[in-house]
Amino acid sequence: MECTLGIAVTLLAVGTACFSPALEAGSGHPKPGLQAEAASGPLSPAERGAMTRAFVRKWGPYVQQVYGVPVDAWAQRMVSTFIHADPDNFRDALRRTTYEGATAALNGAGSRASDDQVIDSMARASLDPRLTDAQVGTQALGSAASDLVFTPVTPCRILDTRVAGGQIASDGSRDFNAVVGGGGNFTSQGGSATDCGMVAAGQAAVVINLTAVTPSSAGFATAYPFGAARPLASSVNYTAGAVVNNAIVVKLPTPLTSSDFTIYTFAGAHFVADIVGFYSAPMATALQCTSVDGALRTLTAGEYALLSTVNCPTGYSAVSTSITASQDVVMADSYVSATSVQIFVKNVSSLSQQAIPKAVCCRVPGR
């Protein structure tokens, strides 16, 4: 049968086979025709489903072996990202040859290193017999717990047990999520109907205001990474019937697994959490570039001339030069300043020719 997107993702996440004619039999990769038919622009549900299947088949075993995250848990958390990922970002992600590069492309967030750099670094690290698979990744890519960049977000509610789930019982715990894919929301946890700006899969830690609401007795609560042992530390100390909050940083699993963090409470209580920012690994920012044309010039036979100066828009810097002309007009020299270019050309033919100078100008987005 041909899978719709929802069926393909759901069955794939629980390990059940679901055939799509857009895939090569048994390969997990799109047929050449799939990419040819949808090289750019929107994706049909069948195409997106096929690409989802290819992505999970390609990287699921890697996620499980290197990061220790079960394929089904990872795939389920990625469902919203697959459904809402920008089509061109999705295509780019499937072309990547490293998981780290693929996930960065999928979320349109850039990457700390190119695929070639990642491959080279991991290959070198793998030569050390003392390192496990997970340690090889850490050695090559840097620790997910250090060298992080903080990004503030508008305070946004990600959980409220008074709205969903009820209070957490005394000496009990409950698991929550702090990251959703594109199109996701926190309503199942009593939180916002939006994604709170938490749509990427690269967050290493979140900063939240955690509030304990009317606990049944004095005590404390601890928020800690999902799947980790509960630390002997308190995130919030409270008294009976009080409403107490504290700003805390909670580390998240990398890659995402079935949940992100756990809250333990000594006394029965309701809890509310508002996210105010997150930490993530540094990522390269893609440059914003534009091509600018200068004035057309007619060159007489054999003429050597300076074409008009091409000026970049305000805030942009010139990075390269070219011309639009016949093969009889050749670039003799060029000068690139911070914001403009000048190009010298020669008409090597016996006829008049026309030429247009061009510059590619770039800037860091938002600067």
pLDDT digits (tens, 9 = 90+) for 207-253: 999 999 999 999 999 999 998 999 999 999 999 999 999 999 998 88
Q: What is the pLDDT of residue 95?
A: 86
Q: What is the 3-state secondary structure (H, E, C) of the chain?
A: CCCCHHHHHHHHHCCCCCCCCCECCCCCCECHHHHHHCCCCCCCHHHHHHHHHHHHHHHHHHHHHHHCCCHHHHHHHHHHHHHHCCHHHHHHHHHCCCHHHHHHHHCCCCCCCCHHHHHHHHHHHHCCCCCCHHHHHHHHHCCCCCCCEEEEEEEEEEEECCCCCCCECCCEEEEECCCCCCCCCCHHHCCCCCCCCCCCCCEEEEEEEEEEECCCCCEEEEEEECCCCCCCCCCEEECCCCEEEEEEEEECCCCCCCCCEEEEECCCEEEEEEEEEEEECCCCCCCEEEEEECCCEEECCCCEEECCCEECCCCCEEEEEEEEECCCEEEEEEEECCCEEEEEEEECCCCCEEEEEEEEEEECCCC
Is pLDDT of 96 > 70?
yes
In this prediction, residues 180-203 reach a mean pLDDT of 83
Closest CA to 255 of 50, 62, 52: 62
Q: How far is CA 340 from CA 106, 313, 317, 359, 361, in A?
A: 35, 9, 7, 8, 9
Q: What is the pLDDT of residue 207?
A: 93
In this prediction, residues 93-106 reach a mean pLDDT of 80
Q: What is the pLDDT of residue 12?
A: 44
161 pLDDT band, cuts 50/70/90, is very high
Q: What is the pLDDT of residue 238?
A: 96
Is pLDDT of 65 > 90?
no
Mean pLDDT for the chain? 79
Domain covering 149-280: architecture: Sandwich (2.60)
Q: Are 322 and 367 in contact, with CB atoms under 8 Å apart?
A: no
Residue 101 zone, left/alpha/beta (φ > 0; ψ -120 to 50; rest): alpha
Residue 342 zone, left/alpha/beta (φ > 0; ψ -120 to 50; rest): beta
Task: Provide the Cα torsion 166, 170, 172, 175; round to 10°.
Answer: 30
Q: What is the pLDDT of residue 303?
A: 95
CA angle 120-126-129, nearest 5°? 155
pTM of the model: 0.58
Length of the chain: 367
Q: Are 318 and 341 in contact, with CB atoms under 8 Å apart?
A: yes
Is pLDDT of 116 > 70?
no
**Bigger pLDDT: 330 vs 85:** 330
Least confident of 19-28, 59-68, 279-288: 19-28
In this prediction, residues 262-279 reach a mean pLDDT of 95
Is pLDDT of 93 > 60?
yes
Q: What is the pLDDT of residue 151?
A: 85
Q: What is the pLDDT of residue 236?
A: 95
289 pLDDT band, cuts 50/70/90, is confident
Is pLDDT of 201 > 90?
no
% of the chain at pLDDT higher than 70: 74
Q: Are 71 and 257 in contact, with CB atoms under 8 Å apart?
A: no
In this prediction, residues 148-174 reach a mean pLDDT of 93
Is pLDDT of 134 > 80?
no
Cβ atoms < 10 Å from Cβ of 332: 12
Is pLDDT of 359 > 80?
yes
Is pLDDT of 46 > 80?
yes
346 pLDDT band, cuts 50/70/90, is very high
Domain ranges of the chain: 5-111, 149-280, 288-363
Closest CA to 357 of 311, 334, 328, 324: 324
**Bigger pLDDT: 334 vs 34:** 334
State the burial class of residue 279 (Cβ atoms within 10 Å of its Cβ: 0-12, 13-18, 19+): buried
186, two tokens = 């926190």
Q: Write the single-letter amino acid at 342.
A: Q
